Amino acid sequence: MTQPLRLGIAGLGTVGIGVVKIVKQQADLLAARTGRKIEISAISARTRDKDRGVSLKGFAWEDDPVALATRSDVDVFVELMGGSDGPAKAATEAAIAAGKDVVTANKAMLAIHGQALAEAAEAAGSVIRYEAAVAGGIPVIKTLTEGLAANRITRVMGVMNGTCNYILTRMEATGQGYNTLFEEAHKLGYLEADPNLDVGGIDAGHKLALLSSIAFGTQVDFDGIELEGIQRVSLDDIRQAADMGYKIKLLGVAQMTGRGLEQRMSPCLVPAASPLGQLDGGTNMVVIEGDAVGQIVLRGAGAGEGPTASAVMGDVCDIARGFRLAVFGQPATSLTRATRAQSVLPAPYYLRMTLRDKPGALAKVAAILGNAGVSIHRMRQYDHVDDKAPVLIVTHKTTRTALDEALAAIATTDVVTEAPVALRIETV
């Protein structure tokens, strides 16, 4: 048996403690499977004196994660602090500079600085692994970079924020509105410190940016994502979708089109009977389509101590086994800059708007849509309440450009009370 693999763990929150537990409790299993002992040399966290429910005796302590990352008795720097910049990035850079390998769950850091970090790591001969950064316990990075390595990937889709899916599922199940269930999720501790990371789709967008890069061999481009959160999804939308045989999910889609890379993270209508439509609660699902393999669907827990620590330790095991892979599946210097192509392919859309009680209001909306080339498949207007009438429209296939033009024109009229809600109906 070769030398032990020695970890330095920065960040002792839920995931960090989950990792410590696995290293301690599964020592024999890990050694049998990787051929090496896996040990923890040193740890670091914001607060030292705190009962974390597991003994940390025998691990050296560092106040400074940079010092931890560069210790001579650390082979792998395990970064579980989070945050796109600050200590996480500084310590990761220091680890790479010191020739260490890095395992991280930090989607924000990689979505924003992934290209630079990957180039630095590959120049230094280090690997950066981040299975835990996307879809928790589901080995989706491994599936894309390795299992499906012989495929030209055509599309990647995913429901990758459990909190959003929890809120949307509970809205349908309980008939309670978004605000009530946002509060519930907050009380249950499901929301990030900045809730907009969850409900604004940013967290899921970070994950999608990483998957895009691997799938299409392109430099990670978080800013290129057409991003929309779930804040404007109403109970009406969910009920109408259900009536038509759909569910509303915060869905990420990345696909390479003739015009460039399309990346979207937005609430979409998906068929209720599809695997994505059937995904309730906090579970994550990723759908990968490749030219040879067809469609692969992966489903599992997207967060939590066990699943996330499982993913971190899967990466550690790969390193222990000597598996060395470029950060995004091929050398960072070979990744191309994709042209951004937003919603090029036409799709049907679901629209909701609130009309004022004015003569000809509906006709005006219909005329604007028609002039923009957006053809109406179904329309339903409800009774006026307090001078306002909700109108629901399902369009035929249209481009996002045409639709956005029409919606902008509608918003500037005096017949609607607020900007219309438009949700794409996705074929999955």
Residue with tokens 């940390």: 56
Report if residue 137 touches its own copies, rule: CB under 8 A.
yes
Instruction: Name 15's Cβ contacts closer than 8 Å, sequence gap at least 6.
Output: 80, 105, 132, 305, 308, 309, 312
Report if residue 317 touches its own copies, rule: CB under 8 A.
yes
Task: In whole angstroms, give the CA distance from residue 332 to residue 152.
Answer: 18
Report if residue 142 touches its own copies, rule: CB under 8 A.
yes
Query: Which among 27-35, 183-191, 251-259, 420-428 is the span making contact with its own copies, rule CB under 8 A?
Result: 27-35
Report if residue 148 touches its own copies, rule: CB under 8 A.
yes
In the list 65, 162, 307, 420, the residue contacting its own copies (rule: CB under 8 A) is: 307
Report if residue 24 touches its own copies, rule: CB under 8 A.
no
Task: Locate 135 and state its tokens.
Answer: 């879809």
Report if residue 33 touches its own copies, rule: CB under 8 A.
yes
From first CA to last CA, the distance across the chain in angstroms is 47
Query: Which among 56-64, 109-117, 155-163, 311-319 is the span making contact with its own copies, rule CB under 8 A?
Result: 311-319
**CB-CB neighbours of 91 under 10 Å:** 28
In the list 46, 48, 50, 152, the residue contacting its own copies (rule: CB under 8 A) is: 152
Q: Is the dihedral of CA 18, 19, 24, 30 positive or negative?
A: positive
User: Which residue among the candidates 107, 207, 247, 249 is catalytic per the annotation?
Assistant: 207
In angstroms, what is the minimal distance from the CB of 119 to its own copies?
16
Report if residue 344 touches its own copies, rule: CB under 8 A.
no
Report if residue 291 touches its own copies, rule: CB under 8 A.
yes
Write the DSSP assignment of 222-275 as a string of letters: GGGSEE--STT--HHHHHHHHHTTEEEEEEEEEEEETTEEEEEEEEEEEETTST
In the list 29, 54, 367, 411, the residue contacting its own copies (rule: CB under 8 A) is: 29
Q: Is 207 a catalytic residue?
A: yes
CB-nearer residue toward its own copies: 145 or 219:
145
> Starting at the edge strand that comes first in sequence, how are the strands of the sheet with 38-44 ordered?
60-61, 38-44, 5-10, 76-79, 101-104, 128-129
In angstroms, what is the minimal distance from the CB of 357 to its own copies?
43
In the list 13, 147, 177, 260, the residue contacting its own copies (rule: CB under 8 A) is: 147
In angstroms, what is the minimal distance from the CB of 87 to its own copies?
26
CA 45 vs CA 105, 112, 191, 330, 371: distances in Å: 15, 23, 21, 33, 59
Task: In whole angstroms, give the CA distance from residue 10 to residue 12.
Answer: 7
Of residues 1 through 20, those in contact with its own copies by CB under 8 A are 18
Report if residue 333 touches its own copies, rule: CB under 8 A.
no
**Could you tell me where the DSSP H helices lie in 125-247?**
140-142, 162-174, 178-187, 196-199, 202-216, 235-243
In angstroms, what is the minimal distance from the CB of 218 to its own copies?
12
Report if residue 329 touches its own copies, rule: CB under 8 A.
yes
Report if residue 364 touches its own copies, rule: CB under 8 A.
no
CB-nearer residue toward its own copies: 330 or 381:
330
CB-nearer residue toward its own copies: 186 or 321:
321
In the list 8, 16, 87, 139, the residue contacting its own copies (rule: CB under 8 A) is: 139
Report if residue 124 touches its own copies, rule: CB under 8 A.
no
In the list 295, 333, 339, 417, the residue contacting its own copies (rule: CB under 8 A) is: 295
Angle subtended at Cα 257 by Cα 251 and Cα 260, rounded to the nearest 5 degrees: 100
Gyration radius of the chain over CA positions: 24
In angstroms, what is the minimal distance from the CB of 277 to its own copies?
11
In the list 67, 149, 362, 376, the residue contacting its own copies (rule: CB under 8 A) is: 149
DSSP code for 37: -
CA 259 vs CA 256, 342, 409: distances in Å: 8, 9, 26
Angle subtended at Cα 229 by Cα 142 and Cα 222, rounded to the nearest 5 degrees: 45
Task: Locate 125 and state its tokens.
Answer: 């001969």
Instruction: Name 406's Cβ contacts closer than 8 Å, sequence gap at least 6.
Output: 368, 369, 371, 372, 374
Report if residue 271 touches its own copies, rule: CB under 8 A.
no
CB-nearer residue toward its own copies: 266 or 274:
274
CB-nearer residue toward its own copies: 235 or 325:
325
Report if residue 223 touches its own copies, rule: CB under 8 A.
no
Report if residue 292 touches its own copies, rule: CB under 8 A.
yes
Amino acid at 404: D
Query: Which residues are tagged catalytic?
Result: 207
Residues engaged in binding its own copies (CB under 8 A): 18, 22, 26, 29-30, 32-35, 131, 137-139, 142-143, 145-152, 217, 275, 278, 290-301, 304, 306-307, 309-311, 313-314, 316-318, 321-325, 329-331, 334
